[in-house]
Amino acid sequence: MNLEPLFASCREHLHRCTSLPEVFARRGLTLEQLQGFELGLDEQGNGVIALRDLEGALLGLKVRLLHAGTSRYLEIPSSNDNPPWFPVGSARLSRGTCPGVLCAEGELNAMVTSLDWPCGEVAGRWRGWAAPSARCPGTGWGG
């Protein structure tokens, strides 16, 4: 199933926004930061997250539902096994270029770790870290 056209449409929708979409509100991010991540917005206002492997192939989409019922997320395809999120360029990381791995629960939380925050020493300490989300033991990263 080729999900690239669907995701491209969702990305375009997010990039047409002039204000922070409700589904991403209260995350502490600006519209510009959201648009810089590999995120999208569908026509119903649901957030769309691309799930790619280390080489950048699109494995699936994770949809953050604006009006959640029993689940806050929908996975497309439903059989994608919820793979970990990797930042763009992760395939180029190695022990020589990256001091370690920072595991974060959830794709949006992992994305936030890739931002350069203006907080002096702390921001510099995190630059260059790989930030796969959740389930790190299966990612191939280890110490």
Any idea where the domains of the chain sit in the sequence?
Answer: 4-76, 90-136
* pLDDT score at 36: 87
- The CA R_g of the chain, rounded to the nearest whole Å, is 15
Q: CATH assignment of 4-76? A: 3.90.980.10
* pLDDT score at 7: 96
User: Does an H or E element contain 62, and which?
Assistant: strand 58-64
| Tokens linked to 77 | 């395809």
Which pairs from 2-8 meet CB under 8 Å and 24+ separation?
3/58, 3/60, 3/61, 3/76, 4/58, 6/61, 6/76, 7/40, 7/48, 7/50, 7/58, 7/61
pLDDT band (50, 70, 90) for residue 140: very low
Q: Specify the pTM.
A: 0.72
pLDDT of 72 above 50: yes
Omega before residue 5 within 30° of 0, cis: no
pLDDT of 126 above 50: no
